[in-house]
Amino acid sequence: MSDQPWKTDDWFSSAWNYNDQVTRDLNFPESIRIHDVSLRDGEQQTAIAYTYDDKIRIAEALAEAGIHRIEAGLPAVSKDDFRAIEAIVKRNLGPDIYSFCRCMKADIDASVDCGVKGLIMEVPASPHLIEYGYKWPLQKAIDLSVEATAYAHERGLEVVFFPIDFSRSEIDWVLDLINTVATDGHMDALVLVDTFGVVSPHAMKFFVRHVRSRFPGTRLETHFHQDFSLGVANTLLALAEGAEVVHSTVLGIGERAGNAPTEDIVMALLTMYGIDVGIRTEKFYSLAKLVQELSNVDVPSNRSIVGDRLFQVESGIIANWFYNCGLEHQTELFPFRPEVVGQPEAEVVLGKGSGIDSVNIWLSRIGAQATEEEATEILLQVKATGLQTKKLLTEEQFREIVARTVSRAA
C-alpha cells in the first residue's frame, strides 16, 4: 500500500481513515466479493419490470464491470424469468450465477434446471413475521428450512441461507433456528439480513460478532436495506468484522427504499480503506445509466458516484478553485476524479450561483473578450437569467448576453 493511500492521482479522502487508532480493530477478509441483486431484489422496487432482453443486457453490463456474482432472479416467478436466468448462465459471462429460492422443492428443481451455481434460500426468521405475515406455526419454518436446504445440497447446489427479518428477531432464538438448519439440513453460507434497514451502525458490530461466535467457520454475507440510508455504512462495518460477500444493487434500487448501492460500497472501500475488490469502477456511470433507462426510475442529479451533475461547478467560490487548480488538481475540488467512475470531464456551468471566474472561463471557451466592467455586467445578467428560468444557461443564452453587453458598451 502507498505511504499515503488516502491521496493518490485519482482520489483524495482523509488521512484519518488510516490512523492506527482507527485501523487496529478492523478485520477485513482477504477477499471481498460483490453479489449483485439488481435483477431480483432490484426488480422488486415498485413499478420496475425487466423484460428478457433487459435482464440479459444488465447481466452483460454487470459482467463487464467485473461483478463477481449475479443473483439472476427467482426462476419460479414466470417462464420468462426462467428463460432469462437460463440464458444468462449459458452465456458464461464470467460472474457466478445464483438464483433466489423459497423453501420449496419446485423452486430448487427450477434452479437446477436453469444451471445456476447456487441459490439464496429465503425463510422467515422472526416469530412475529412467521405468525402474522405467513400464518405459519413456528415449527413449519424450521422443518421447511431443514428439508429444502438438504434437498438443494443433494441436487448439487451451493446453499446460501437467507433468514428474512433476521435483524428484528430475538437473536438467540433465530441463531438456534439457523443452527438447526445447519446441523439437520445444509448451509454453505449465511446472510446477515437487515430486511427493513433497522440496525443502527452501533449495533452492527454486536450483530456480526454474535453470529460469528455461533458459526465461526461459516462464510457471512451482507444484505442491508436503505430505509434509514444506513445500508452502506452498515455494510462497511460488517465487512470490517469479517463478512466476505456484499449483496447490493446498482443505484441502490430495491424494495421500499432500496438496497445498499454497489457503486457507493466499492468506492468507499477503495478510497477510504485502500481495498480494491477488483471491480472496474470506470464502468459505474454507464452501468447506472443503463439500469436507470431499463428501470424507468428517476435518479437525483446529485446522486453519489453516478449523478449527472456531480462534476458540474456552478458556485462562484468553487469555480474560483476550479480556475486556480485546473484539471491537474481536480481532487482539491472533488473526492475523486470523474474518469475513475466513468463520468464526463468536470466543467464550470452558468446559473444564479455563478461568479466572475465562471464568466471568464466561458468567455475563453467561446473565444470572446470583455472588459472588467463588461464581465461584471455579463455576470449580473447570467445570475438574473438563472434566477428567472431556475435552470442552467445554455451556450446560446450566454452568447446572446455577451453580444448584447459588449455591443452596448462599445
Confidence of residue 140 (pLDDT cuts 50, 70, 90): confident
Alpha helices in 115-225 (DSSP H): 127-129, 138-154, 171-184, 201-214
Query: Collapsing DSSP states into helix, strand and coil, what is residue 98?
Result: strand
Nearest Cα residue to 54 out of 65, 46, 69, 42: 42
Nearest Cα residue to 89 out of 109, 68, 59, 52: 59
Q: What is the per-residue burial (b if ≥16 Cβ within 10 Å, else e) of 137-174? A: eeeebbbbbbbbbebbbeeebbbbbbbbbbbbbeeeeb
pLDDT digit string, tens, across residues 48-92: 999 999 999 999 999 999 999 999 999 988 999 999 999 999 999
Q: Region 20-47: what's the mean pLDDT?
A: 97
7 or 133: which leads in pLDDT:
7
Nearest Cα residue to 136 out of 301, 309, 240, 144: 144
Domain ranges of the chain: 15-295, 312-409
Do the beta carbons of residue 252 and residue 306 sit within 8 Å?
Answer: no
CATH 3.40.50.10380 fits domain 15-295? no
CA distances from 77 to 81, 82, 189 (A): 6, 8, 24
**Over the chain, what is the mean pLDDT?**
95
